[in-house]
Structure 1
Amino acid sequence: MQPEAVIFDIGNVLTTWNPEAFYDRAIGPDRRAQLFAEVDLHGMNLAVDAGALFRETIYDWADRNPTWAAEIRFWHDRWDELASPRIEGSIALLRALRRKGVPVFTLTNFGSHAY
C-alpha cells in the first residue's frame, strides 16, 4: 500500500536543529554557555517562530545585548550553518518517495523569513 502523501518536519527530521552545538563550534563551549546564560536566544527564536520578522528580531536582540551583538547576529547571518547539517537518511527517504510519485510536503515552525 502506497501512502497518499507524506509530511516531513524540517527541524530535527530533515535538518539538525541544535543551536548550542553550532555556537560551541563558532565561539567555543565556555563562551556559548555564558551567552546562553545571559541572553535568552531560545526566547528570541520563539518570537520568530510565532511570526516576528526574522532579521529585525535578531538584530533588535543584538542591539539590546551589545556585549554579545556579533554572536547573536550569527542566528541570522549564519542561519544555513545553524540549521544544519542535513539528516541524510531522511533526505534519502524523501527522495525515494518522490521517485515513487508520492506527494511530499514539509512542515516547520521556523519563521517565514527563515525558511
Structure 2
Amino acid sequence: MTIRAVVFDFGGVLFDWNPQHLYRKLIADEQERQWFLDNICTQAWNTEQDAGRTLAEATRHLIEQHPEYQSLIQAYYERWHEMLRGELPEGVEILTALHQAKMPLFGLTNWSAETFPYAREHYPFLQFFRDIVVSGQLKLIKPDPAIYHASLAQVRAHLPDVQPGEVVFIDDVAGNVEAAVALGWQGIHHVSAERTSAHLRRLGVGF
C-alpha cells in the first residue's frame, strides 16, 4: 500500500525538550535534581498539562502539595522555554526532505496548548506541516485512540479518501506507535534518524 501522508511526533523526533536542560541550572547536585524531577515536577504531572490542564492550575496545585519547593515548581513553566534546547537536526532533515519531495506532512504531539505557540513562533520548519494536532488543544493525549482518530480526520481534510494503512506515524515512544498500528496505521518507532529513514524507504517513501 502506498504511503500518502506522514505524521510526526515532535518531542524526541524533531525537538530536544528535556526538563534537565533547565534544572541543571537550578539544582547542582545530580542525584538531588533527578529526585526532584522523579518525585515533584514529574513527567506524569507535566502530561496532565499536555492533556489540557492549565499551567496556572497545575502550578498552584503542586505548590499546595509541596510548598517547600515553591520557587523550583514555579520555574518549570515560567522558564519552560529553557527546557526546549532546540531542534534535533537529523529529524528535521528527514522532515525537510519529505517536504521537498511533496509528501503531505502532519503533526501529532502531546504538548500543552499554552506552550506550543512558543514553538510555532521560533521554529520555521513547523510551516512544513499541513496541519497539527496538539493534545492540549483537544484535551486528548496519546496513546488514547481518540487522538489518532482526530489526526486521521485532519489528514482526510486534505486527502479525503486516504486509508489508515496509507499513513505512517513516527514517534520516539513505542507505546504511541503501537496505538497507531492497532488502528491500522503504519508505524515507525524513532530510535535514530538513520533507522527511521531506512524504514520509510522500506515502506516505499522516496525522498
The TM-score normalised by the length of structure 1 is 0.77
State whether structure 2 residue 48 is matched by structure 1 residue 10: no
User: What whole-Å deviation, never above 9, does each CA across 1:74-94 have from its counterpart, x for those lacking one?
Assistant: 221222221333211111221
State the partner residue of 2:45.
44
- Unaligned 5+ segments in structure 2 are 117-207
Aligned length: 114
Query: 2-side partners of 1:18 and 1:37: how far apart?
Result: 13
CA positional deviation for 1:24: 2.4
Query: 1-side partners of 2:46 and 2:98: how far apart?
Result: 31
State the partner residue of 2:120.
none
Aligned-pair identity (%): 27
- Unaligned 5+ segments in structure 1 are none
Which structure has the larger Rg?
A: 2
CA positional deviation for 1:45: 0.8
Q: What is the one-letter code of the residue matched to 1:27?
A: I
2:16–2:87 contact (8 Å) kept in structure 1: yes
SS in 2 for 1:10: coil
| Greater relative contact order (CA < 8 Å, ≥ 6 in sequence) | 1
2:11–2:17 contact (8 Å) kept in structure 1: yes
State the partner residue of 1:23.
23
Moved over 4 A (4+): none
User: What whole-Å deviation, never above 9, does each CA across 1:18-65 have from its counterpart, x for those lacking one?
Assistant: 323542244222441342355152232122122211343124323542
Bigger strand share? 2
CA RMSD of aligned residues (A): 2.4
State the partner residue of 2:58.
57
Q: What is the one-letter code of the residue matched to 1:17?
A: W
